[in-house]
Structure 1
Amino acid sequence: MKEREELLKSCHTYVNERILRLETSVWDLERDLGNETKSSAGDKYETSREMINAEISQLESQLQEFKKLQEILQLPNLQKSGKKIQLGSIVTTSAANYFLAIPAGEIKLEKQNFYGIGINSPIAKLLLGKQKGDRFNFHQEDIKILSVD
């Protein structure tokens, strides 16, 4: 399997696992909400329901963010390589290896490790538009771009 395919597969797995976990949590909370019974302590009942509803809203917001990441992974740019760094680029630098797609954290492949980063991350903003041989500074470190795929 090619490096790009492996990186994309890891990103898909990352997003799908989180979506599943969030959907399960929302479902569990909605079930708990349905099982809440009104007691004689009405304020306690209402407070409990509000806390559950607030948590559901927060989880649903996170779920929407991960669904946006899932959409990014479907973009055709992620399948292409080019000389200039763009969405979908695999970048090897003197400091680390990056895959510009989604913020998926460290991705361990057989031969090397990569960091899945979104294009809005500080390091991605420095990388975008650059090419092999270019240099940039990040955290007061001079970094050279060794390859772009």
Structure 2
Amino acid sequence: MTTKKLLLQACKDNVEKRITDYKNEMALINEAIETNDKESEDEDSGNGKLLNDLEKNAGYLNEAIRIRDFLLQINANNVCNTAVLGSVVETESVTFYISTSVGQIEIENKTYYAISLQSPIGQLLRGKTKGDRFTFNDKNYTIISIL
């Protein structure tokens, strides 16, 4: 499997884990709400915070599903000379994978940073080519290669 395919799979795995975690959390909250309702009968069940937590997790779940769908748009076989969605951008000190903001990924003993095009550094990288320079957080970078 190519590096780009491994990176894309790592991002997909990360998002799938988040989706599973949010669903599990929501199931636990629903169970707690049902338990409170059974125990409280006519009294206030105190479910307000639980309902708030349920709503928050539903929002997180929807966002994770949106990201999963977004990742389906990335073609790991795409070759481009400019930094675009799905590109691996290597600088002299850091290698970025333009996909979604997952953070650090270890593949074949090398560290990559999965970033979004919408992130501040993603905005700086967009459209750059080999040899281009950019500055982020007072640090200068030169693009060595783009896969």
Q: TM-score range by the shorter chain?
A: over 0.9
Matched, 1:141 2:136: no
Counterparts of 1:6 and 1:78 in 2: how far apart (Å)?
9
Alignment match, 2:18: 18
Q: What is the DSSP-based 3-state SS (H/G/I as helix, E as strand, rest coil) of the residue aligned with 1:133? A: coil
Question: Runs ≥4 in structure 1, deviation > 6 angstroms?
Answer: none
Alignment match, 2:60: 62
Task: Give the aligned residue type for 2:64.
Answer: F
Deviation at 1:81, TM superposition (A): 2.2
The 8 Å contact of residues 74 and 85 in structure 2, kept in 1 or not, is answered as: no
Task: Give the aligned residue type for 2:11.
Answer: C
Quick one: structure 1 residues 79 and 64, their matched pair in 2 at CA, closer, same or farther if it must change by over 3 Å? farther
The 8 Å contact of residues 96 and 114 in structure 2, kept in 1 or not, is answered as: yes
1:81 alignment partner, one of 79, 89, 98: 79
Q: Deviations over 1:59-85 (max 9, x none)?
A: 010111111110111004454120011
Cα RMSD, aligned residues only: 1.4
Q: Can you give the 5+ residue segments of structure 1 that lack an aligned partner in the other structure?
A: none
Task: Give the aligned residue type for 2:27.
Answer: W
Alignment match, 1:130: 128
Counterparts of 2:109 and 2:34 in 1: how far apart (Å)?
50
The 8 Å contact of residues 78 and 101 in structure 1, kept in 2 or not, is answered as: no
Q: Tell me how many residue pairs correspond in the alignment.
A: 145
2:90 alignment partner, one of 67, 89, 92: 92
The 8 Å contact of residues 5 and 76 in structure 2, kept in 1 or not, is answered as: no
Alignment match, 2:28: 28
Deviation at 1:35, TM superposition (A): 1.3
Q: What is the DSSP-based 3-state SS (H/G/I as helix, E as strand, rest coil) of the residue aligned with 2:40? A: coil
Counterparts of 1:39 and 1:68 in 2: how far apart (Å)?
39
Q: Deviations over 1:87-123 (max 9, x none)?
A: 1111101231111001111000113110011111111
Counterparts of 1:76 and 1:54 in 2: how far apart (Å)?
34
